[in-house]
Each structure stands twice: as C-alpha cells, then as structure tokens.
Structure 1
Amino acid sequence: MLPRYRRLVERLTQKGLLKVVCGTDTLGVGINVPIRTVLFSGLSKYDGVRQRHLQVREFQQIAGRAGRAGYDTLGRVVVQAPEHEVENAKMVRKAGDDAKKLRRIQRKKPPEGFVNWSERTFDKLTTGEPEPLASRMKVSHAMVLNVVARPGDAFASMRALLEDNHSDRAEQRRMINDAIGIYRALVAGGVVERLAEPDADGRTVRLTVDLQENFALNQPLAPFGVAALEILDPDSDTYALDVVSVVEAILDDPRPIINAQRKAARGEAVAGMKAEGIEYEERMELLEEVEHPQPLREELEAAYETYRKGHPWVADHELRPKSVVREMWETSMTFSEYVSRYQLARSEGLVLRYLADAYRTLVHTVPETYRDDVLRDITDWLGEVVRQTDSSLLDEWAALAAGGGGSVDVTIAHDPDAPPPPVTSNDRAFRVLVRNALFRRVELMALRRWNDLGALDAAAGWTADLWHEAIDDYFAEYDTLGTGPDARGPAMLVVDTDPEGAETRVWHVRQILEDPEGDRDWAIFATVHLDASDEAGEAVVQVTDVGPLTEADA
C-alpha cells in the first residue's frame, strides 16, 4: 500500500472512523507477515445511469484483492465513512462529554442526491450472498466483422456463437436478429460481400475493403460513419477535422460536456444580444435555438437520412454531432485547460473516458485509405493526451487486445502502479503537443488577449505587459494574424533538437507567424524542456522572445 494511504488508514482507524475486517481489528501490531489492505473511500458508485450502492458481488470482488490465493493468509479491508459522517464525528469528539455543546451541534446532512451508506450497509456487503451472474453477451459490429475475417463458414460460426452460450432462448433469438441486421448493414455498406462459391479458406462471405490491422466497428452507427467518410473532400483544409467530426457524431453524448458547452454558447449569445439591444422576451426565444457546437450537422443528417432508407434498422440509434476532440484540437487546449474552461472538475473521469473512446474509434474504425498526415497527428496527439492523463485506460485496452491475439500501437504497462511512458518517448506525438502549445499562443495573440498570454508565460518572464508590447509591434506592421490550417501546420514550426551548448535536454523552437503578406518574418521563440515535460506529462514550453526573424534565424 502506498505510504499516503497507509497513513490515512492508520489515522482514521485510530480515530474510530473506519472499520477493519478480514481477520484483524487492529493495525497488525505484532504480526510478522505482510498484510495486503484494500481501502474503500465509499460504498456507492455511478453505474452510468444513476448513483447506487455497491452490489455484494462488486464489493467482494474488490475486497478479494486484499489477499492472493496461495500467497497470502491474511488480508484487511477498510471502509471510510461518508464525509458528512466524518465531520459529524469530529464535532462530537470536540464537544466531548459537555451535554450543552452536544445539543448545540448542527449535524451535517448528506449532499442532495447522495446515496448514503452506514455500518449496516457494510455488514450487508460483507456477509450477503453474491448476486447471481447474468450473461452480458452482446452482438456487435466488431464481433461479426471478426467472424467474417476468419477462415471457414462465417454463418456456421455465428450460429454456434449465438446458440451455445448461457443466455436464455429469448435473448438468443434477440441476438440472432441483431446479428442479421448488422450483417445486412455491412453488406449494404460495401464492407462485406457474399461469395457464390466458398474460397480456398472455406469462406462464404469476405471483407471487400482494405482495412488496417485491428479494424473494428465498435459503435452501432460505425458502418454509417465509414460510409459517411465518402462525402468528405480530401482536398479540404479541414478534411482531417471533418473525419474527427464524423467519428464524434457516432459516439454517445458525454452529457456534462454537452451541457457545459450549451451553457457557454448561450452565455455568449446573451452577451451579444444585449449588446445589440434585443429585448428580454425575444432573447429568451432566440436562446432556445442556441445549441452546443455541431460541425457538419446538416451534411451528416442528410447523409444519415439517405443511409437509413436502405438500412431501416439503424433508426434505433440517433446521430449525435458534437465537437469535443475537434474543439480541443482547434483551440490547442490541454486536458486540464479544457476541464477548467467548462468547469468539469467533477466529471474529469467522464471527459477522459470519452476521449479514450474517440481515440479507439479513430484507431479502429477509420480505414487507412482515409488517413492523411494531419489525421495521424490528431490521432497521436489524442492518444498521448489520454495516456498522460491516465495510462490505465489505454493499457487495459492494449492488454485485452494482446490477450485476444491482436496487437495495437500502444504501450502495455504490466505494472498497474507504473507511471505512463515519458511523454517525450513518442517523438511524433510530442512534436504535436509542442506545436499545439505554441499555436495556442498564436491564437491568443491574434485575439490580442495579452492578459491570457501573460497568465501562460509570466513564470517564464513573459508578462502580460511584454506580450502587449509584442502584439502592438506586430499589428503595427501587419493588419491580421493567420490562425487557419496553414498557420498551424508543421512547416510553421522550426525545431532544433540538439542546440549547441545546452547542458540539459532541451529543444529550441520557433513558431513562425502567418502574416497577410506571406513574408513569414515574425516568430515566437521558445525553449522546450524535455525532462520537465516528462515530469509534467505535457509539453513544458518557455517563451524567450517574440519578434522579427533575423538573418541568423533564417
């Protein structure tokens, strides 16, 4: 157990705020064998729909990690009391035996919507019978695709898979109908075709497209997503981001993010309408039309209507255009900046899970023929954002894929307590992180937001006043500052990875600014500290100058 948790267990147990079970009611004094301890901070969880108590099976499965069969003879499980109960116990302890003080105590109540637990809940979980197991088998596009890709008769294999399982007959029939619908969608989408005669491997159906390794359609609308990629213009400046928007449209909505985006959009709309002098009643009517960002909404909805006519079974699933990954990329925000922007601190796990789902879908669902260098940069960047925030999400996925005989391009951490790989170890992804960090400054510079720039770089000596002066100097020479795709492209970032005389691992970089005349003679100069970046899990960029390029810089 980590030292900080050990100290917490000892302190709270000594105060009587925790209960210890599994063989001992002490802290193990006098015991000469190591005792594995599991600490529960709560006995309730959010199951994706609601907050509820842990089930007996869930509790005992987690508690079982306090000991390993064949290795440990003793384990310990500790449950922390609810926070309001802890505060109440502190107040009672402080009042002591003074009856007057005890009567004056205003006991704290659980927060609204809080699912409380008590010692009775604890006793039920430790002594109750585990709930019976229920089959969770689901038919997915990925399952059908994997069966089709195998040698042999796919229909016979699917029939055996769907009928030889622990589901009841009614559920088996439902899964068979789902499999038929998915197969029809794959055929209609041109992903799979029926063969007149079995091929050399005994296949009666086969894949018709060149899919990358581990290609999978893991979302109900994934076949539509693959088909919708056909409507995109590969020559468009926004092509890669449009692919991202197609992917995001087939993912479930992360509700807290969508609500925060809608709130922010309506706040900006209200400010604009007030500035225009629009009356209150009209403002309220207009606000009903303000939604969260939904790139390609009209194009995708039109394509979906056409697709649904030939695939009526997809009507059970709703298309959900949105912009989370795309917005993060376009604004060059880090994970923490995005969470702060929308005040999502309580939903960090949901944000991270959504980003991980988007990354997996980009990797597994977008065929290689639709990828360009920008989309590869976006995919690498997104994977690194997830990995550096919580590597376990990708590590678990990688371990499952490897265990199933597959392989994916992510690092598997066999030690669950091991930190993620250094952020600088993935050179391509790290360069994208550096480029995004510098382009964030370009965007703020174009908006003349020197106070925000000062907040980013004051620690490096580049205060808001210095940024203000540099911005004034630039706009005294040019009318505008470009922030389009060309302005953020890799050609605008010059990197010296081995600067002469450097005593530590640093890069010297300059972000060239896109001026309207095409002179490209201004730049943001910075130093990237690699060791500090590894420690922080993101690019640590220190601005050193902003100004015209000299002959020495050319």
Structure 2
Amino acid sequence: MNILEHLSPKLAQPENHYFRGDFASNPLSPDEMYEGFLAWISSRGMELYPAQDEAVLELAQGNNVILATPTGSGKSTVAVAAHYVGLATGQRSYYTAPIKALVSEKFFDLVAIFGAENVGMITGDSSINADAPIICCTAEILANVVLREGENADLCQVIMDEFHFYSDPQRGWAWQVPLLDLPQAQFLLMSATLGDTTRFEREMTELTGRTSTLVTNAERPIPLHFYYSNNTVQETVEELVSTRQTPVYIVHFSQLQAIDAAQGLMSVNIASKEDKERINELLADFRFMPGFGKTLQRLVKNGIGVHHAGMLPKYRRLVEQLAQAGLLKVICGTDTLGVGINVPIRTVLITALSKFDGERTRRLKAREFHQIAGRAGRAGFDTAGTVVVQAPEHDIENARLEAKAREKFAGDEKKMAQSLRGKKKKPPQGFVAWSEKTFDQLVEASPEPLTSSFGVSHSMLLNILQREGDPFTAARKFLENNHEPRIKQRQLMRKALGIYRELLAGGVVERLDEPDEYGARVRLTVDLQENFALNQPLSPFALASFSLLDTESETYALDAVSIIEATLEKPRQVLMMQEKKAKSEALAEFKAEGMDYNERMNELDKITYPKPLEDLLEQAFETYSSSAAWVREFELSPKSVVRDMYERAMGFGEYVQYYSLDRSEGILLRYLSDAYKALRQTVPVSALNDDLTDIIEWLGEVIRQTDSSLVDEWEKLAAGEDYQPKEETLEELVAEKAPSVTDNPRAFKVMVRNAMFRRVELFADERDKILGSMDEEYGWDADRWADAMDDYFDEYDDIYTDADARGPQLLSIDDDVTEHPGIWKVRQILSDPDDNHDWAFTAEIDLVASDAAGTPVVRMLSVGN
C-alpha cells in the first residue's frame, strides 16, 4: 500500500498528487499522523524498534529530534516519518546528505515510497522535479537556500543525515547554517556518532521554539562482536569464509592497498562453484575496459570485489549490486564505504588503526572507528555483526619469530635473544603504532564532541545580499550566533567586513541613498545564477575570456578548451601522474645530454604538468577579479587533460595506460564529464566553430562509451526532457549497453581521425612495439611496422606531426556504406619534409566491430607510397 493512502485515500489518487495546500488548511492531528504511519509500517510487515517509535512520536508532535542511534537501527525509516509529517501538515521537507551518491540513493527510496511526482532532487549541476514537496539535496544546496531566504524559505522539515559532517573542515559550514536561521524548521539530525549533543538541543529549541529531544539507544538491533587478530589478513579471511561470516568488507586506507590485497586473495577459495557460474553468466555481456577493468573482471569472477572512489561509476555499481545479490563474499576497499552506501556487510575487517589524513599519519578517532565498524551486521539477515582489527604486519611476523625461537631454545632467554638479533622486522618509515590496547580503547570510547567548522566567504555574503530585508542584520545573525569561540567570531567579522569592502569597491554592491521597501541600504548590482558557487563558479570568467582568443588561429578550438579546463577543479591524481611522466621523460633526455646531477635536479624542479595559456589567463583573472572580487576565493588552475588527450589522439583506455591511471579511472572520467558539461553550458553559440564542435562531440562520446551514466541523465535534464531516473537491478546493470559509437557520425569521425593520427605519431617516434600491440591481430606486428619505418626513413629524415599534419587535407574517409557495407575506407597521408605527400597509411574501419568495442576498430591494409 502506498504511504499516501495512510494520509487520505482520496488525496493519494494520482490526479491529486500535489496536496500541500489541502493539508495546510486542514492538517492531520499528531495522533492521526502517528497512527497513520504505524499503519503503513504494519502494512509492510515491519515493526518499529523502541528508539524509532519514540522518534516518530516526537516528530508527529512537532518536536525537533536528534537521532543518535547505531548504524543499522533504522534511521532512514524515521526520516521517512519526517517527510510523512511534512506532507500531512502541508509543508515542504528537505533531506540533506554529504555526497551526491547518498542523495541519489535516498531519492530512489523516497520515490518508491511517496511516488515520483512528490519527490525531487537538486544537485549542483541538475535538478529533477524541483518544485516537489519532498526535496533531496546535498547540504550545500540547503545552506544556500537558507542564506538567500532564511525564515522566508518554503520549507519546514529538515532531515540532516550523517550529521557528523558538521565537523568537516571544508564543508562543516553548510551543516551549521540551517541551525542558525530557520526558525520555521522542524529538525531531524541523524548520525551514529554524534557525541555530546547538549548544545544542539538547547540552540534548536531557542531558534524554533520547539522542544528538542535526544533519542539514543546504545543497544544495536544487530549487536557487534569485536576481535583483535594476530593472524595475517589472508589467514583471517580464510577463517571468516570457512565459518560463513561473509560478506566481509576489508578496510584499507589507500586504494593501492585495497587492490593489492584483493589480488593477494586470488589464491583463497572464496566463492562456491555455483556462485562462480552465476557470476560468469551475469557478466557475459558486461563491458570491462582494458587495464583495471580486466583486473576487476578476474576478481569478481572469483567472488572478490574492490570498492573505492577512483573506480569508474559502473564498476562501483557492479560491485555493490553483486554484493547485494550475495555473490561477492569479500570486498576490499577504502573507508569511504562508511558514508551510507547500501552494501550489505556481515563482517568488517579493519587492516589498520592509523591513517594518513592528507597532512599526517595519525591514529583513528573514535568517531571514525565506530563509523567503519558500524557497517557490520545486516538487519534481516544477521543476528550479529563481526568487527576484526588486524595487528600491525611487523608485530604479527615478529611474534611468530619469537614463538619459533622460544620453542627451539626451550625458554632460554639469552639464546633466544641472540637468535632474533637482526631478524625482527622493523615498522615502516613514518608508521604510527597501534596495539590491542589501542583497539580496546577505541571499542569502549564514545565519539568525540562535534566541533564547529564555520567560515565566511564571498559566495556566502553574496547569497545573503540576495535575500529580502536588511542584509546587515542577516549577516550579523550568522557572524554572532555561529558556534565558533568568540575570538574566532571576531576574526570572521573582520573577514566579512573586508569582503564587503571589496564588493563595494568593485561595484558589485552599491549603497542606497534611502532604504528600500525592506529596509536595506545596499543592493547587488549583478544577477547571480542560482547555486553559482556550487557549479563551476568561474564559468562567467571563462565566458568573458573567449574574447581574448583569435578565432582565426589554428589552435582556437583547443585554446577554448584550455579556458574551460582552467576553471575546473583539479583532478590531482591525474595531474600528479602527468608531472611524473614529464619529469621521467626529461630526466632521460638530461642524462642522454650528459647533464650533471645538480643541474638535472634543478631543471627537474621546474617541470610540472602542462598549463596551456597560463600567463594569459592569470593576467585576465587578475583584471576580472578586480570587479568581481568574490571569484578570488576560487582557484584558477590552468591544466591540460581534455586538450592533452585530444592532442595525443588517445581514447580513454589509451590515456589511462599512458599515464598509469588504472587506480584513478573514476577521477579522470568525472573530470572529463565536468569538462564536457562546462563546454556544453558555457561556450556560447557565437564562439563555436566546426573544430570546437568536433571536440565537444568527441569528448561526449568518449565519456558515453566509457560509462554513459555520467552524461545521459544530465543531457536529458539539460535539454528540458521529462526524465525520471529509475534504480536499476543487477540484471539491468549487467545488460546495460552503451549506445552504438557509430550512431554519432561526427564524433566517430573524430575518433577515426585520432586513431589514424595516433599511428602517425607512433610511427614518427619509431615505436614499432606499441604499433605492433595495436595492430598485430590484423597482420601488422612490430616487425612489419619496423620494416615500414626503415623504408620510410631511408627516403625521408623526418615526419611532421604538427597541426597541419593532422589537418583534414591529409586524411580522407570514404564512408559510402552502400559501396562498402559496414566498412569505411581511410587514407592518412604522412607529412614529409619535402611536402611530397607520397606516403600514406591505408586502413579499413569495421563499423560492427567498432560498435562492439566502443572505439574505432582499425584494420591496417598498407603503409607506403
């Protein structure tokens, strides 16, 4: 039964789906809401836990609730009750979470419960049904609504999931803002690791006038058993598998460790024969890409998963779905799984009690430990969950050496000490020690109190300046009532005053001679896009910068791409590998030139990743920011990823292989997706030419063929289509097919052009082995390519690979499929020093094979004149 039928059978009919006004004038009583929700719970064959029942009753009575119950105790059900109360009283409710993946997951859940017409989702770059009475969004979206509208915002129920992000140094401000200026709200704060909540209870009551209730229960519905292991990880896993304490999630604090550990378990018999057969059957048509994709394919076929942020989204979804189907017994991943992702886990195996946090290696905090441990135990499946913590590897090895020596020397301490001298394994450099005592302390420890991470920025003040009323009064409220100590508040006030003066000097804000109708004495002189600080805030700068380019230049299209790339967030792992590659190649050149060591090191220090147009853009940014002061808080970062991939004539897989980005495929793809969206959204029609349009089409198709989930939904939303996403099943996921690459002829021709020119570049560099690896299947092995190179370089000293060399005048594509069904004929002419143009590569492009591969399948026919 749909939950709305427990509000009113009449109003639950489809034609009456938007009924906020009806209930606003005639709301249900607290008893009616409580009884109606219990009836819905009963209709699902469920029964509320005591803590859930208490929280639902408090919500129905209009009170604020802090739900500090363990993971697995049904906080999501209480959140549903909060939305239910909003609908029953004709009010709008907001669900917020720290990451888009969790927002999306809850969106699907709420659609299934309340109906698609009543639930919307807003993220930084798209929105679905944004006028719905139930909205799912990230915390930053809600914070911007509060800054702009405050007590006039059309909302009441505010559900803040994973509320411990309040302490996050970068994002904590967004979790605090709603608590400072939403007097009309009814709050539900949820987390398993909140610590002392006294301040939140007091201040929510002072703000809203509602009673604020802490609902906590130390008893988990699925109790946890904790163990400290002095065995190796492999031995521990073998025991957990043999005793059927699976699925096991093995937590590492780096992606490399997770992948290495997964591969190390291949010798263990993890999955049953039946499970392996089922996995093989499901994955028969699933497209695994070269590199990490092939590694993951081998792992999952043996019942082992990998899960971390650097993976392609389709790979992470596959692992999650296979785990939910009970087909993966072991998953090796990072601690990021702790943030609400729906993967069923019975046992959590933690490989370390220390982690590198970006600045230093430190021991885990109690909050971090309990967040990770809380993933163990599946409601409805397990009667208990298991948490195992591994002793340090060197401690395990040393303990075994001591045991052997003790046995050998029958307790003779002197001989034992002599035999162990120099044999004991030392901890790795920078190691932060932990022990069983550390483990015991963490198990018993309560989460640390949440600490405020409030801050002031240009975008915050600009949002406040957009609201009706006196912005100074609103700003003072945030600056004086935030949860920072008084000394920090004074610092924030001084910073806010400095930002205001910048905005005033830049003409972004102007003083009024007389107060306006709302009493305000200042006003904005610019129109800002909604959520401008969330979705490429430097896009207006990019738009202004196109005028700096020469549209007649042969590099215009790529320079336009570089402007867009400079406004995007840095994909740090990609840039790091670009720099590493550049330094490695330069070092080889320096050594070949006989450069001495000190000079080599000095020159290497100057080398970084490519930064096209750096000087031009930095000068332009300085000028632009003088009249748009708020952009200074965002980093302009010239870089070349899209441009580099295009100039190297590489596809996604080739680029990953070239820079050794196997562990960062997902990061690279997200960056390419952001670049594609920014190019589509920011570049005006007047700035487009054929070359730039080709690049944009090519980029979109590269992304789509790699993992279509990142662009398809966004494109439909951007086009204004009536699009309602749905949650996919495992069968739908593995059967998912990328669109035929040949369906987009313009993008496919760019891919063909790149594939041919890639061969030209390799030929020019005499990389016969790489060419052989590409074309050996069709009779062109490394030796045949080497022979062709010998013939060419006997005749010419060089091959040009500049812009003219890859121009359309040296490439012909015969796509007359009536004459050659399913085959394109391609001729790539080489640019020789004498401009004779008498050498060429001739090839066929198999369209059917290309659709299957998602990239042009090139069959070399000849190289010569």
Partner Cα distance (2:384, 2:726) in 1: 26
From 617, 620, 637, the equivalent of 1:303 is 620
Deviations 1:240-284 (A, max 9, x none): 322333344345655665555445444544554565566666555
1:330 to 647, 665, 669: 647
1:84-123 → structure 2 map (5 Å cutoff): 84=393, 88=397, 98-99=407-408, 106-114=423-431, 118-123=435-440
Structure 1 residues 338 and 281: CA distance shift in structure 2, 3 A: same
- C-alpha spacing 1:486/1:160, structure 2 compared with 1 (3 Å): farther
Please state how far the C-alpha of 1:95 moved relative to its aligned partner. 6.0
Tell me the TM-score normalised to structure 1 length: 0.65
Which of 702, 709, 727 does residue 414 from structure 1 map onto? 727
Greater Rg by CA: 2
**Which secondary structure does the structure 1 equivalent of 2:346 belong to?**
strand
CA distance in 1, matches of 2:757, 2:500: 43
Residue pairs, 1:40-55, within 5 angstroms = 40=349, 42-43=351-352, 44-55=354-365
1:412 and 1:544, CA in 2 relative to 1: closer, same or farther beyond 3 A?
farther
Q: Which amino acid aligns with 2:862?
A: V
Q: Quote the residue 2:781 is aligned against.
A: 463
C-alpha displacement of 1:463? 0.6
Q: In terms of mean alpha carbon deviation, does 443-452 or 154-163 score higher?
A: 154-163
2:367 counterpart letter in structure 1 = R
Q: Look up the match of 2:556.
A: 239
1:57 to 367, 382, 391: 367
The answer to whether structure 1 residue 449 and structure 2 residue 449 are counterparts is no
Assess, with a 3 A threshold, how the Cα gap between structure 1 residues 276 and 85 changes in structure 2: closer, same or farther.
closer
**Does the 8 Å contact 2:825/2:844 carry over to 1?**
yes
- Given the alignment of the two structures, is residue 513 of structure 1 paired with residue 829 of structure 2, yes or no? yes
Output the CA distance in 2 between the equivalents of 1:421 and 1:139. Answer: 45
Q: What one-letter code is carried by the residue in structure 2 that aligns with 1:414?
A: E
Task: Work out whether 1:13 is the aligned partner of 2:240.
Answer: yes
Q: Deviations over 1:129-156 (max 9, x none)?
A: 22344566777788788899x9978969
Amino acid at match of 1:544: M
Asked whether 1:539 is paired with 2:855, we answer yes
How much has 1:523 moved relative to structure 2? 3.8
The one-letter code sitting in structure 2 at the alignment partner of 1:367 is T
User: Retained in 2: the 8 A contact 1:482–1:515?
Assistant: yes
What's the secondary structure of 2:385's corresponding residue?
A: strand
Find the aligned partners of 2:711 and 2:861 in 1 and give their Cα distance: 39
In 2, the alpha carbon distance for the partners of 1:361 and 1:178 equals 32
Match of 2:682 in 1: 367
> Cα–Cα, structure 1 residues 431 and 277, in superposed 2: closer, same or farther, change >3 Å?
same
Which deviates the most, 518-527 or 93-102?
93-102
Deviates more, 1:92-101 or 1:455-464: 92-101
State the shift of 1:515 in Å.
4.1
Equivalent of residue 76 in structure 1, options 381, 385, 388: 385
Which secondary structure does the structure 1 equivalent of 2:393 belong to? helix
**CA 1:124 to 1:542, structure 2 compared with 1: closer, same or farther past 3 Å?**
farther
How many Å apart are 1:304 and its aligned residue?
A: 3.3
Pair 446,68 (structure 1): closer, same or farther in 2 beyond 3 Å: same
2:248–2:346: 8 Å Cα contact kept in structure 1?
no
> Structure 1 pair 183/271, CA: closer, same or farther in 2 (3 Å)?
same
Q: How does 1:195-206 map to 2 (within 5 A)?
A: none
Give CA-to-partner distance per residue, 1:307-358, whole Å, 9 cap, x none.
Answer: 455566766666543333332322134555445544566xx33x74365246
What is aligned with 1:30? none
Change (3 A) 1:258 1:230: same
Shift of the alpha carbon at 1:465?
Answer: 2.0
Identity %: 37
Amino acid at match of 1:368: V
**What is the CA–CA distance in structure 2 between the aligned matches of 1:193 and 1:514, rounded to whole Å?**
61
| Native 8 Å contact 2:348 2:375 kept in 1 | no
Q: In the superposition, relative to structure 1, how do residues 462 and 120 fare at CA in structure 2: closer, same or farther (>3 Å)?
A: farther
Q: In the alignment, residue 439 of structure 1 is paired with which amino acid?
A: F
Aligned match of 2:195: none
Question: Alignment partner of 1:129: what SS?
Answer: coil
Relative to structure 1, the CA distance from residue 115 to residue 543 in structure 2 (aligned partners, 3 Å threshold; closer, same or farther) is: farther
The Cα of 1:453 is off from its aligned counterpart by: 1.0
- Tell me the distance in 1 between the aligned counterparts of 2:863 and 2:538: 49
Q: Distance in 1 between matches of 2:830 and 2:470?
A: 55
Counterpart amino acid of residue 42 in structure 1: T
Indicate conservation of the 8 Å contact 2:842/2:863, yes or no: yes
Structure 1: how far apart are the matches of 2:345 and 2:859? 48
Query: Aligned letter for 2:615?
Result: E
State which of 346, 351, 355 in structure 2 corresponds to 1:37. Answer: 346
Give 1:230's aligned residue: 547
Amino acid at match of 2:408: A
CA contact (8 A) 1:377 1:432 kept: yes
Higher relative contact order (CA 8 A, sep 6+): 2
Matched residue count: 513
Kindly indicate whether the alpha-carbon contact (under 8 Å) linking 1:193 and 1:207 is maintained by their aligned counterparts in 2.
Answer: no
Structure 2 CA distance for partners of 1:251 and 1:20, relative to 1, 3 Å? closer
Q: Which residue, out of 128, 138, 143, partners 2:445?
A: 128
After superposition, the Cα gap between the structure-2 partners of 1:423 and 1:55, relative to the gap in structure 1 and judged at 3 Å, is farther
Cα distance, 1:545 vs. partner? 1.7
Task: Specify whether residues 282 and 63 from structure 1 end up closer, same or farther in structure 2 by C-alpha distance, changes over 3 A only.
Answer: closer
SS across alignment from 2:667? helix
Q: Distance in 2 between matches of 1:460 and 1:186?
A: 67
Q: How far apart in 2 are the matches of 1:440 and 1:339?
A: 15
What are the ranges of 5 or more consecutive residues in structure 1 without an aligned counterpart? 1-6, 28-33, 199-203, 550-554
Change in CA separation of 1:344 and 1:49 when aligned onto 2, cut-off 3 Å: farther
| SS at 1:332 equivalent | coil
Q: Residue type of the partner of 1:448?
A: E
Which residue number corresponds to residue 525 of structure 1? 843
Rate the CA distance shift 1:276–1:128 in 2: closer, same or farther, 3 A. closer
Work out the CA distance in 2 between the residues paired with 1:186 and 1:145.
12
Q: Quickly say closer, same or farther: Cα 1:21–1:122, change in 2 above 3 A.
A: farther
Structure-2 separation of matches of 1:524 and 1:52: 59
| Structure 2 Cα separation of the partners of residues 142 and 361 of structure 1 | 22
Task: After TM superposition, give the deviation of residue 37 of structure 1 in Å.
Answer: 2.2
Q: Distance in 2 between matches of 1:509 and 1:194?
A: 68
Residue in 2 that maps onto 1:356: 670
Matches within 5 A, 1:256-275: 258=575, 260-269=577-586, 271-272=588-589
Give TM-score scaled by structure 2 length: 0.45
Is contact 1:249–1:322 with CA below 8 Å preserved after alignment? Answer: yes
1:58–1:466: structure 2 CA closer, same or farther, 3 Å change rule?
A: same
Equivalent-residue separation in structure 1 for 2:694 and 2:531 (angstroms): 19
Amino acid at match of 2:860: T
The one-letter code of the counterpart of 1:88 is E
What do you get for the CA RMSD once the two structures are aligned?
6.1
Q: Quote how far apart the aligned CAs of 1:507 are.
A: 6.0
Between 223-232 and 276-285, report the one with greater CA deviation.
276-285
- Report the Cα distance in structure 2 between the residues aligned to 1:266 and 1:282, rounded to whole angstroms: 14
Q: Are residues 279 and 131 of structure 1, via their aligned partners in 2, closer, same or farther at CA, if it must alter by over 3 Å?
A: closer
Measured against aligned partners, the alpha-carbon deviations of 1:88-147 in whole angstroms (never above 9, x if no partner) come to 399669969953699668454443345565555544444432234456677778878889
The DSSP-based 3-state class of the residue aligned with 1:74 is coil
* Amino acid across the alignment from 1:446: A
